Every structure is written in C-alpha cells, then in structure tokens.
Amino acid sequence: MHLRMRAQEKASITRFLSSGQDDSAFADLRAFEADLEVPFFILDTPALVELHRMCQETAQSILNGDWPSELVLDDKKNINEVYWLHQLWTDPWRTRDPDKALIFVLPVYPVLLLGRACGEKDRKKVHKLGAQAVKEVTQLPAWHRNGGVDHVMVATDWQFKVPGGFQRALGKTFANFARNVTWGRHVTDNHRGLFGCAVTIPHTSSMTALQPAYQPFEKESLLERGLIDAADVFEDDRLDVAFDPPSRLDWFARDYTMFFQGTVDGMRPFRILALKQLAGWHHRPASCHDCTPANNVFVSTTNVAGVERKGKMPDCPREQKKLRVQRVVQRVEMGKFEGCRAPSDQKKRHPLYAEASFMHRLANSKVNLCFRGTDVTSSRNVDGFWTGTLNVLITEVEDMYKYAIAFQCEIPWRNFTYAIEGSAFKEDPRRALRPVLDELFLHPASIREKLRLMEYYSRKVLWNAPNSTAARSTLRAMTRQCLTDEMKMEWLQRTHIEDGGDRYGDHPLFSRCAFPDTSATREEQREPCVSCWVGYKTPTKKPPSTADEHHTTSAQLEVQM
C-alpha cells in the first residue's frame, strides 16, 4: 500500500494522540474562539493619508494577484502590511472616534516603501513626509496617553532587524519615532531596541504571488493556468491523473512523504544535513510489514559544495518516457526530485515557475520540513497550512515558540505541529524523524485530527486565505502582550464601559488564554536571543527599557504532541 492503512487496520484504530490521551483531550474548537473585540482607530493625519495613498496602486495589484515588477519575489513572505491594512479598513471593530479606540493603527507600507514600489520613488520626499507624519501624530492627545505603545504598524522585512533598514524606508525621524510603537514582526527579539513592543505575526506565503487575495487553493489550478507542466511535478507515469489525482479524495494517497525545496548554503546547515542524510531514505515502521514508503522531495535551488564529492549537486535527472495519455502514446521528460538541484532552464519557464512548482510539490507531500534559516523561524510553516501538509519545525524549539510563533493564546500549535530540537536533528536526522514518520503509517486518526485542526485555524494564520482573521488576531495579541492592565483599565474607565468599577477584571480584555502562550513579553523581548539570528553577536549592554510593568495572563494546559 502507498502510505495508507488497510481498511481493517483503519477500522481497528480509535482516535489516537501521540501524547497517549484520548480524543476528549481536544476541546471543542468553537469554545476557544475569543470573544474579545478590540476597537481601533486608523490615524488619518494629512501626511499619513498621503503615505498610504501613494502605495495604493501597488497594494491593490498584490491583492489582485498581479505581482508588481518593482518588488523582488523574495518579498512574497513579507507583505503582511498589504493584507493587514486591507482587512482592517472595513472591519466592524474600526471606530471613527479616536476617544473610543483602544489601539491606534499607523497606515503605512514599510516594505513597499523600502522596495521603492510605491508611486513616489524619491526617498528624500518620502522621508520628509515621514518626518511630517511624526510631527502630526506626536501632537495628538492619544500619543501622550501611553507613549506610543498602543500605536501599531506591521513591518516584517528582514532588513528591519538592523537600525538602518527601517530608516531607508521612512527616514531617520520616523525610525526614531518607531522605537516607541508596537510592531507586527516575524521575530520579536528586540535586543537592539528598535521598537517599543512587538507581536509575532505569521509570514505571508508563496500564494501571495500566485493568485488573487482570499481565494481557495488547489494544486491542480497551477497546472490548469500553465504556471507549470505536469512533467515538472510528477516523477513517474501518473501524468494521466495530474488533474484529478487520488489525493484529491484521500490525503494518504499523496505521492511524496517528506518535502524540502529551497536555498541550501552554509548559512543554513540543517538543510545541508538533510540532503546528505535524508534524501534517498524511505523509512517504514518495523512493525508494519505491508507498508510501502513513498519517495521524497529534496530539491535545492542553489549549488551546494559539500553535498557531493565534486562539490556540485546534480541536476534533478530527466529522462524520456513513453506514456499513454488519453489513449495517445506521448514521449515526455520525467525525473525524480530527491537529492538534486532544480533544473537549470528556469529562464525559459514562467516567471512564477519556482513558486508554482514549490507549492504543487508541497501540496502533494505529507510532511513539510521547516528548517530554520538565517533566523530561528521558517516561513514554510504557513505554506504547509495552504497545502494541508503537516509541518515539522526543525530549529531551537523553545526560542521559536518564544519569539516566532504567532497567536499562541488562541491557536493550539502544539496539537498539530511537530517540533524537533535542532541539536537532536544535528546528532541523528533519521532518528529524530522516525517518530513523525511512524505516526504517518500507524496512526491515521491522529493525522486526520491534526489536519482538521490545521484547516480550522488556517483563517487565523493565512493572511491571503478565504475569511482570514489574521489582522484581528494581531490586535488581540497586542492587547495581551503589549498593553498593561493599567492601560486597559484606563480605556475602560475613559469609554464608560458599563461593567462597574469593581467588575472590570471580568471584562474580556482580562480573559485567560485559551491555550498556553510562551511568547516573549515586552521586557523579555529586550533580552538578547542568542539563537535568533545567524552570526549573532551579544551586545555589550542591554538597551535602556522604557516599558512599563507587563502583566501576563494564565492559561489552561493544551495537549502536548
């Protein structure tokens, strides 16, 4: 069988959790939906309105699925700001009265401005406008209430981890101003003191460059639209079912087990190790004699010295095969995608070929290996949500959850996400992955439950998905991680919420988390995170703290996987 349990074996297995608990340990999902509403005001000073307006054409192009030529495709995972502002603009939580707002939104597009993708290309003019915006905002009463920590923007480009990066986007004055406000970021380490507080938000996905916003995804659509050819994504004579594969109805019928496709270099050692140790390894449990393991996808998009003796990775092999398609014998090129370099003829292909082949192969795999790259996190886990592929985080797990896993208070990540400590993977990659692969073979009920949870919570994780609520989750996380109890109490009293002075503690603003949240608090973000960045150097001194005392909430335990 092809990584599928026989019918009698499936019937004999009740719902199984790797923690050994029964299905009752999974609480009703809808019961955990937060009822916390967060009134926000989008600041509309003249300079901010102009900064927002000049980027609208580019932002709308991205929402329409037309990638702007000014932006490099690597930015596809960093354009949260486009979906963030688009979702907030018409959200019922938005108030037009600043006196009723708990949070104040800065409507700027730092990544688009950094890439000179907006209407105004002259950096000096943009920086001058940024300085004027700072002058306008800091004169408003709302700014002086909490010193800016209740003001928020999204800024996720990797260049913003150093002081000069954000300065290039909006100028020195705005960069200094931004040191006081809350940011939505991919990694919340703040040892350089670049922001007042931060909330971890998910990356955007390869899907942002492949289709319009808020559309469902099926891998077959990439074939239908001509972004890839069937021979580019199927390794044997299954082309005749390319548009209607068995996996459409049966997840366990996917063609590949483990998946990795991407950059491999000395800055990403786990990826080199995977190509050496995992490519060509087809594990099956010793107790499952009838199990037939599938092939894997291990494709590098770069040449890597050290993987092969000659210092060069071979191209993914292509060979001629005769194939009967719709009763006509055709000769097509086929090849395997395990332990090889992507074809070198990509210049002849569609500009989005790399992204399309990545998503198609991932959607035909069961396990998505999310190796840390140059920082502790991996943007690939959001791609796993799009494709319904189980994520395996391979990184410094504790720091990943502390600095780079979003919305933990309302998403039970550990219930559907595998995690392997980087040191354990480095010691023995195959041994580290065996428990994951064993569960794929032996416990289909547990796998189906993980997939159900991933699908349910995808609307919180995926900015570009139908019915996405990622912007709302960002606001809720901000109230928990960045606003003190005193700030929230002052807002309740100022807006005369009918709850009674002694009962404010019962307000949803002070509610317990649905799931454990180990995200770094405002003060913890300023502690050096040694594992967060490749080439990290411990600062000589901690940046001065301007944060007030931060109050956390307790949370009930979730099922540990």
Q: What is the pLDDT of residue 234?
A: 82
Produce one character per residue of 119-146: b if its CB has 16 or more CB atoms within 10 Å, e if not: ebeebeebbebbbbbbebbeeeebbeeb
Catalogue the E-assigned strands of 313-446: 319-325, 328-334, 338-341, 365-371, 390-395, 418-421
Question: Going edge to edge, which strands form the sheet with 103-105?
Answer: 40-42, 103-105, 151-154, 182-185, 197-200
Nearest to 418 by CA among 432, 404, 406: 432
Nearest to 108 by CA among 161, 175, 162, 158: 175
Give residue limits of the domains in the chain.
Answer: 40-206+469-526, 215-461
Tell whether the model's pLDDT for residue 229 goes beyond 70: yes
> Among all chains, which residue has been given the structure tokens 């569609």?
350
Nearest to 344 by CA among 369, 313, 310, 309: 313
Tell whether the model's pLDDT for residue 154 goes beyond 80: yes
> In a 3-state reduction of DSSP, which class is residue 255?
coil
- 193 in the Ramachandran plot: left (φ > 0), alpha (ψ -120 to 50) or beta? left
Backbone φ, ψ for residue 558 (5° rounding): -110, 165
Q: What is the mean pLDDT of the chain?
A: 84
How far out from the chain centre does Cα 281 lie? Answer: 28
Indicate the Cα dihedral angle 105, 109, 111, 117, nearest 10°.
Answer: 180
Question: Do residues 432 and 226 make contact, with C-beta atoms less than 8 angstroms apart?
Answer: no
Residue 62 is encoded by which pair of tokens?
């991205």
Tell whether the model's pLDDT for residue 21 goes beyond 80: no
Instruction: Note the pTM of the prediction, 2 decimals.
Output: 0.87
Question: Do residues 62 and 68 make contact, with C-beta atoms less than 8 angstroms apart?
Answer: yes
Q: What is the pLDDT of residue 532?
A: 86
Tell whether the model's pLDDT for residue 533 goes beyond 90: no
Q: Residue 421's beta-bridge partner residues?
A: 395
CATH number for the domain formed by residue range(s) 215-461: 3.40.50
Instruction: Please state the rounded mean pLDDT for residues 60-85.
Output: 95
Q: What is the pLDDT of residue 281?
A: 95
Q: What is the pLDDT of residue 512?
A: 84
Q: Residue 487's beta-bridge partner residues?
A: none
